[in-house]
Amino acid sequence: MPVRLLSLPELAAELPPKGRLLGLDLGTKTIGLALSDVERRLASPFETIRRVKFTRDAEVLLATAAKFDIQALVLGLPLNMDGTEGPRAQATRAFVRALTPLTALPCCFWDERLSTAAVQRDLIASDVSRAKRAAVIDQMAAAYILEGALARLNRLAAEARQD
């Protein structure tokens, strides 16, 4: 069951009309998760997984995917500001490659430049304490990533209806 890494337009063409997507913000210590609604209009922060080792991390991730009948994974790809890929982007790609024997879920990447900074700014503006920010930042960053991908998927669907 190889992981199928698709572009967002390829994923859009393959997805059923309804079904949830799971957004991921992969960090070195945690993985933030966000869920879309079934109609793929909203992204909601879901939980933060404390990373232990790949096998356990993948088990938790795939159990969540099975529980919510996830149709695809959307992973934030941490590109450098100039668009190049650094060590974190390479680690994200390696994570997806390691999922290959474990799931047939399609995956796609979404440029996550400045996602954590944007979420951090919003939380500070909302006067959320530092401790509470630390507890939710990764899952909120995952929701930010997933929201961007959902907006693009919805634009692609609208364009397809016009053709």
pLDDT tens sequence across 122-162: 767 777 777 776 667 789 899 999 999 999 999 998 888 88
pLDDT tens sequence across 3-27: 589 999 999 999 999 999 999 999 8
| pLDDT at residue number 2 | 54
CATH number at residue 10: 3.30.420.140
Report which residue type is found at 63. Answer: A
Residue among 1, 19, 34, 29 at smallest CA distance from 145: 34
pTM: 0.90
**Number of domains, the chain:** 1
β strands within 87-136, DSSP E: 106-111
pLDDT tens sequence across 57-105: 999 999 999 999 999 999 999 988 888 999 999 999 999 999 878 999 9
**Residue ranges making up the domain that contains 144:** 4-162
Joined tokens for residue 151 = 């907006």
CA within 13 Å, CB half, 47: 8
Query: Phi-psi category of 156—alpha, beta or left, where left has phi over 0 and alpha has psi -120 to 50?
Result: alpha
**SS3 label, residue 72:** strand
